[in-house]
Amino acid sequence: MSTAAAVARSPFRPARLITYALLLLVAAFYLLPIYVIAVTAFKSFIEVSHTTPWQLPSAPSIDAFGNAFTTLAPSFFNSVLLVVPATLLSALLGSLNGYVLSKWRFRGADLVFTLLLFGMFIPYQSILLPLVLVLQKIQLYGGIPGLILTHVVYGIPITTLIFRNYYAAVPTEVIEAARIDGASVLGIYRHVLLPISMPGFVVVLIWQFTSIWNEFLFAVTLTLPDQWPITVALNGLAGSLLAHYEIQMAGALLTALPPLVIYIVLGRYFIRGLLAGALKG
């Protein structure tokens, strides 16, 4: 245990109190809208009004949740089928790319990196049509596999970015040492980098899982009705004419649960000093 931690042990030092106060303030900011969402979700349709967002429900009911659940449940599995492979694949690709681009300085590596990143900025609405045409050509239009491919491809820039900068912090000496010991390119990846990649994977998995899980445009355009992910069903809760905000909010809370579970599970991996073991001398 570092001495810094030991010194900071006492819970009542002024610095500590200020830290807690600030944390609570920030937490209040993040929780304020969640409060409104939750409170609305427990109200009845008639009670919901934009004039009383802060009021607690007079007769709390879980009808909205029930309604939302029955509409959302059928597409839940589609979303799972979409998110798990897409997230894992794009994380793997990003990790490999980040490894290559940060450790193997071939000529043009920076150019490739820049070109990959630039791809992040392409506005999806403008490429919907060519995307649909290409997917049709390769027989992947209309179903989850095509959506997986789409998300993997468009996830490459951001996952590469995160991993590349993460691996840039790993000293070259470590890689060189492994090389001299006779490891292959992939061997270095497996034995040196992968074990310390957890924080990088945490960040990428959080991002990709959330983005793909909540993504709507591709979800609704590239799949046919029987394979719609949950975001389309969630959007349908809104209705087109008469908005049932309470069902919408309940639905949003329900669909936010899987990502939240991921955050809780992955959050444990923000461990200090994973790179410490990579230092030699």
Site for another protein in 138-177 (CB under 8 A): 139, 141-145, 150, 152-154, 156-158, 160-162, 165-166, 168-169, 171-172, 175-176
Smallest separation (angstroms) from another protein to the CB of 40: 8
Letters for 4-23 (x = contact with another protein by CB under 8 A, - = none) are xx--x--x----x--xx-xx
Tokens of 218: 């591709």
Nearer to another protein, 3 or 58 (CB): 3
Contact positions with another protein (CB under 8 A) in 184-213: 184-186, 199-200, 202-203, 206-207, 210, 213
Rounded CA-CA distance 115/132 in Å is 23
Indicate whether 274 belongs to the interface with another protein (CB under 8 A).
yes
Contact positions with another protein (CB under 8 A) in 19-48: 19-20, 22-23, 26-27, 29-34, 36-37, 45-46
Contact positions with another protein (CB under 8 A) in 84-123: 93, 96-97, 99-106, 110, 112-123
Letters for 48-87 (x = contact with another protein by CB under 8 A, - = none) are -xxxxxx---------------------------------
Letters for 239-258 (x = contact with another protein by CB under 8 A, - = none) are xxxxxxx-xxx--x--xxx-
Specify the length of the chain in residues.
281
Instruction: Of 184, 188, 210, give the one whose Cα is nearest residue 197.
Output: 188
> What are the CA-CA distances from residue 47 to residues 44, 70, 151, 246 (Å)?
5, 22, 40, 9
Rounded CA-CA distance 260/91 in Å is 19
Rounded CA-CA distance 31/36 in Å is 9
Smallest separation (angstroms) from another protein to the CB of 56: 14
Nearest-10 Cα torsion for 84, 89, 91, 97 = -170
- Write the DSSP string, 244-272: -HHHHHHHHHHHHHHHHHHHHHHHTT--T
